[in-house]
Structure 1
């Protein structure tokens, strides 16, 4: 039987993926004025952080493309006007399979202590698998909202560019 936390993770991830359906690489790389990142960066960051929180701290095998930390770790940002060296489809594929891998690895293990504990930049202390995964609901939801804003602003900017 699946734990409700996995249902919540799937729900949030489904909403994230639905929001970016049909976006092109070019659309995902638009950085609106006043922002320091784009939709593609937010998606890669979502993947990067959950992969780290789910697998790294529990010392389980993780799937982290070599360039992802330098592109998507906290504090990184894409260079405006430069194409990112990862395709949107690659990030989507990783996001689509991530929750299944997490559930396959941690089903029945949510209360386990992780090999390493961690305190977020906001002061939240985490030391169990469940705590790390639960934190992602907030994290991905926050970035989902940012993606909504970026998508709206990017569409507006693209439409204005077509009128000029």
Structure 2
């Protein structure tokens, strides 16, 4: 089962990277009408949540730039940003390397109980490391879809 989770993690991420490929910085930083975030926020949010769900919640070291916690946190929006945001290329580089780091660090540990069980906003309680990683696939899929929609709205 573990191999399937890691395989799906890599597949989902490849799809996310494919949809981000070729997005120009001005498009990535444009907020479509009636939305509150942009493609850059979506990509950074995917990275942040994956770091939290794979590493931070369980007490493991993460590769997380300090500014990401405020820029890409749930409920945040570019309209309230006060610092300098990373470029889409910077976020994409982090996204590209993340699945391999997760596999390397969590191989053989997906069945372990998390020291901090978590109940999602939709009411699902995550109790093992594997449950967190597996749920992050659903989470990424939601934001992948938002990126696709934003691209369709913003690209001539």
Is the pair's TM-score, using the shorter chain for normalization, greater than 0.5? yes
Aligned to 2:47: 47
Measure the CA separation in 1 of the matches of 2:110 and 2:117.
14
Aligned to 2:79: 79
Contact residue 29 and residue 83 of structure 1 kept, 8 A? no
Aligned to 1:136: 136
Aligned to 2:65: 65
Aligned to 1:94: 94
Measure the CA separation in 2 of the matches of 1:31 and 1:84.
17
Instruction: With the length of structure 2 as denominator, give the TM-score of the two structures.
Output: 0.94
* TM-fit CA distance, 1:84: 5.4
Instruction: With the length of structure 1 as denominator, give the TM-score of the two structures.
Output: 0.90
Deviations along 1:25-68, one digit per CA (max 9) or x if unpaired, are 11101101111100000000000001000001111110110100
Deviations along 1:108-152, one digit per CA (max 9) or x if unpaired, are 111001121111111110110110001011100011111000000
Question: How many residues matched?
Answer: 155
Q: Does residue 123 of the first structure (1) align with residue 123 of the second (2)?
A: yes
Compute the RMSD of aligned alpha carbons.
1.8
- Gap regions ≥5 residues in structure 1: 160-164
Aligned to 1:112: 112
Work out which of the two has the higher radius of gyration on C-alpha atoms and give 1 or 2: 1
* TM-fit CA distance, 1:3: 1.0
